[in-house]
Amino acid sequence: MLMGEPVPSDAKFIGRDESGEKIFRYRIGDYRALYKIKDHEKVILITKIDKRPRVYD
C-alpha cells in the first residue's frame, strides 16, 4: 500500500527526526505504524509497529 502512495490521505505527519526526515503514522486497526520517507534514496523505512499506547515510547 505505501509503495504506491507513500503518504495516503489517512496517514498523519508527526514530525521530523534528528536528520530532518519526515516521520508519519499510519493506523492499522488497533495498531500504529511509524515510518520515515527517505526521499533521496526512494525508501520507506518502517521504524515501529505496535498498539497505540506503546508505539510512541
Determine the pLDDT at residue 15.
Answer: 93
Q: What domains appear along the chain, each with residue ranges and CATH number?
A: 12-55 (3.30.2310.20)
Determine the pLDDT at residue 1.
Answer: 64
Distance CA 57, CA 50 (A): 10
Q: What is the mean pLDDT of residues 11-38?
A: 91
Q: For residue range 18-27, what is the model confidence (pLDDT) as tens digits? A: 888 899 999 9
Q: What is the mean pLDDT of residues 36-45?
A: 85
Q: What's the whole-model pTM score? A: 0.81
Distance CA 16, CA 36 (A): 9
